[in-house]
Amino acid sequence: MQPRSSSVFASVRRHFDDPRVGGAVVLTVPAASEGAEPLGLTAAEAHAALYGQGSDPQFAVAVWKEVLRAALGDDASNASDETGKLLVIWLALPRLTGTVHRVCTRLHADRSDVEAEMVLTLLEELSAPDAGSCLSDRSLIRAACTRAWNFARDGHRELPSTQVERIAQDHALTASDGEVDAPAEKGWDVRVDRPDGPDGLRTPLRFRVRPEYLRNAAFTDTDTDTDDETRERLTRHNPPKKRPPGRRVGPRPVRPAGRRA
């Protein structure tokens, strides 16, 4: 027996696969012609009206209108009365799965995380104060797809990298005659935080270097545990230089390298 998928899309599909849910009348679509009776639709019939063979585009517009109206009419204070919002999510899935596949393939994002971001966006859009006056199925789908791409791009930029650490280790371990020295007894984990403004780094940098490769100025406010021998070696290798006038760069947080979590 195959294990059940833990993705939110799969959970929503399983909910509406239940005949007691999919077979219940959840929508009343006004008739297209004057004098005709409104048409009651189950969740399964609404899905077929939108995506089934020979579906009528004009009728699909009317179905989406009523789906959104039902979702906006859900009682926010009653957690069990969320049928309209769940119906919106379920009916939107066929228009979202293609974007999920492209996002995960191109940016190597986790599928469950991307799906969760999309569903969260749908719920946020339905809960917006002006949702009743400006929300449509197209704007809803567009917002969810945009959120998925932005989420995956942000995560792609924040993937950890050991390139800086490898470069520092190569310089420290490789001797001039090509032989490899023993590993350094001491090293420092350096963290460079991103600024508060929109410019500059988009994520903190963390890397490990030997103390003699760092300027003595970096330890001005953070080296309370540094011994005198280390201070003298740093000063000998990196004599203080006169800085030009301008904005002072704050000290980097530095701590002795140890076992990483």
List the 188-192 sheet strands across, edge first: 205-209, 188-192, 254-256
Residue 232 confidence (pLDDT): 59
| pLDDT single digits (tens) 93-152 | 999 999 999 999 999 999 999 999 999 999 999 999 888 888 899 999 999 999 999 999
Which of the two residues, 60 and 156, has the higher pLDDT score? 60
Helices 83-107 and 137-157: angle between axes, nearest 10 degrees: 40
List, in order, residues 6 or more apart from 47 with CB less than 8 Å away.
16, 90, 91
List, in order, residues 6 or more apart from 67 with CB less than 8 Å away.
27, 46, 84, 87, 88, 91, 137
The secondary element (H helix, E strand) that includes residue 66 is: helix 57-72
DSSP state of 221: T
In the block, which residue shows the tokens 């191109």? Answer: 106
* Mean pLDDT of the residues in the chain: 76
**Beta strand segments in 3-106, E:** 25-29, 39-42
| pLDDT single digits (tens) 151-161 | 999 876 655 55
Phi then psi for residue 62, to 5 deg, are -65, -35
- Record the pTM: 0.59
Residue 1 confidence (pLDDT): 46
